[in-house]
């Protein structure tokens, strides 16, 4: 796809960097199985500061709330439905100027644990699709909990207990559900204790720089850069400040992106209140998280889902087959084309 910088369309070939303003919604850190949300969303907006400010003013004029700071919740109120539809509609202020990367958190846990132990994306999707059916609701919940615990950099457990708990749980599930497709994948995981031990040892002994494999923000940032830099156009990401985005992690993001052929020039952190484009990215991320979560849970709004679809990054990390098709997530959800997790031990490269 080609076009001019002014209309927000990706441009083929080299040129001045596109500056993309970014924010997220749905962050629960590394607690992906017991947090407050089941979807994480990361949005990028390509507008000038002046154009972004004009859109924010228009939203305020239309909503007329006395709140000093507007959030996505203002737009999601039923009484402001017309404003929400205007914001997302074809020809609206964000049309072809914004993109949102979605992460289905439960699938992300499965994807990351399979990546650590097997490095086989197809098996992650197979286990996710079969898990609840073959293991039952309780067994599937038990697996997700111990997988989340295994991967967390700080999991609150006694040192040396996390790996045994994970493999005891996997072994028990294999025995109880032998012969099922889910058990077949679990049997492969059960034979991979050594990389699990190496991963936990690297976290505990301080020999690894901690790049949390379970926090979806880092790969989402890389995917955002990949989308906007398609065709080789360099991009600069202006991102809302986040505690996880330390200088060493930003350096890892930039190196990983460049290693993967993504023309990411820089990730720069700014205070959201100083840049109206980031406020728009916050709106879009919050809206997308809510709309996608409703669709995932079978209570989607067909109109809003259809409007959101044109903003969804096909490389979003999504496992549920029905909602994936409706949201417009592409084959990259099977594992192709998205950033690999850090090496075992989470060492920076």
Tell me the average pLDDT across 22-44: 92
Higher pLDDT, 348 or 191: 191
Tell me the average pLDDT across 9-31: 80
Please name which of 320, 296, 292 lies closest in space to residue 306, comparing C-alpha atoms: 292
Out of 129-138, 193-202, 209-218, 325-334, give the one with best mean pLDDT. 129-138
Residue with tokens 């350096």: 251
pLDDT at 205: 73
To the nearest 10 degrees (0 to 180), the angle between helices 193-204 and 162-176 is 160
CA distance 240 to 221: 12
Higher pLDDT, 202 or 18: 18
Task: Using the Cα atoms of residue 147, residue 150, residue 155 and residue 160 in order, give the sign of their dihedral.
Answer: positive
Report residue 36's pLDDT band, with 50, 70 and 90 as the boundaries: confident
Tokens matching residue 326: 């409706």
Higher pLDDT, 138 or 337: 138
pLDDT at 232: 87
DSSP string, 307-320: HHHTTB-TT-B---
pLDDT at 70: 81
Higher pLDDT, 230 or 330: 230
pLDDT at 46: 97
The pLDDT tens digits of the residues spanning 287-308 come to 999 999 999 999 999 999 999 9
The pLDDT tens digits of the residues spanning 115-127 come to 999 989 899 999 9
Tell me the average pLDDT across 224-249: 94
Q: H helices of the chain, where?
A: 49-63, 72-76, 81-88, 105-117, 121-151, 162-176, 181-190, 193-204, 217-228, 247-259, 276-296, 302-309, 321-327
Report residue 7's pLDDT band, with 50, 70 and 90 as the boundaries: very low
pLDDT at 330: 80
Tell me the average pLDDT across 40-69: 92
Tokens matching residue 9: 């369309």
Tell me the average pLDDT across 85-100: 96
Tell me the average pLDDT across 88-96: 96
Report residue 78's pLDDT band, with 50, 70 and 90 as the boundaries: very high
pLDDT at 173: 98
Total Cβ atoms within 10 A of residue 303 = 13
pLDDT at 348: 29
Answer yes or no: are the C-beta atoms of 314 and 99 closer than 8 Å: no
Report residue 341's pLDDT band, with 50, 70 and 90 as the boundaries: very low
Q: What percent of the chain is modeled with pLDDT above 90?
A: 73
The pLDDT tens digits of the residues spanning 266-288 come to 999 998 889 999 999 999 999 99
Q: What percent of the chain is modeled with pLDDT above 70?
A: 87
Tell me the average pLDDT across 5-11: 40
5: pLDDT strictly greater than 90: no
Quote the radius of gyration of the chain (alpha carbons, Å).
21
Give Cα 344 to chain centroid, integer Å: 20
pLDDT at 155: 65
4: pLDDT strictly greater than 60: no
């Amino acid at each position: 796809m080609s076009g001019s910088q002014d209309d927000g369309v990706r441009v083929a070939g080299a040129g001045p960097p596109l500056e993309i303003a970014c924010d997220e919604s749905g962050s629960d850190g590394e607690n992906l199985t017991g947090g407050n949300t089941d979807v994480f969303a990361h949005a990028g907006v390509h507008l000038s500061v002046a154009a972004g400010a004009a859109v924010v003013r228009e939203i305020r004029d239309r909503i007329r709330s006395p709140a000093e700071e507007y959030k996505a919740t203002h737009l999601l109120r039923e009484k402001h439905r017309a404003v929400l539809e205007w914001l997302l509609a074809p020809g609206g202020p964000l049309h072809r100027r914004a993109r949102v990367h979605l992460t289905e958190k439960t699938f992300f846990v499965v994807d990351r644990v399979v990546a650590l132990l097997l490095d086989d994306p197809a098996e992650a999707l197979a286990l996710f699709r079969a898990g609840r059916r073959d293991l039952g609701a309780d067994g599937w919940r038990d697996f997700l909990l111990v997988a989340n615990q295994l991967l967390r950099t700080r999991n609150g457990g006694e040192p040396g207990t996390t790996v045994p708990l994970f493999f005891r749980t996997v072994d028990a599930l294999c025995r109880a559900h032998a012969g099922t497709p889910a058990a077949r994948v679990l049997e492969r995981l059960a034979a991979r204790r050594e990389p699990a031990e190496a991963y936990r040892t690297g976290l505990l002994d301080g020999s690894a720089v901690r790049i949390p494999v379970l926090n979806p923000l880092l790969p989402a940032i890389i995917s955002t850069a990949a989308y906007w830099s398609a065709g080789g156009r360099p991009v600069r990401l202006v991102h809302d400040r986040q505690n996880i985005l330390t200088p060493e992690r930003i350096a890892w993001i930039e190196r990983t992106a460049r290693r993967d052929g993504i023309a990411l020039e820089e990730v720069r952190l700014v205070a959201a209140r100083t840049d109206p484009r980031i406020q728009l990215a916050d709106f879009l991320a919050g809206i997308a998280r809510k709309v996608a979560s409703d669709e995932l849970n079978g209570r989607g709004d067909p109109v809003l889902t259809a409007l959101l679809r044109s903003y969804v990054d096909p490389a979003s990390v999504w496992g549920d087959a029905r909602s994936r098709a409706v949201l417009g997530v592409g084959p990259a959800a099977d594992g192709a084309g998205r950033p690999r997790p850090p090496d075992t031990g989470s060492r920076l490269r």
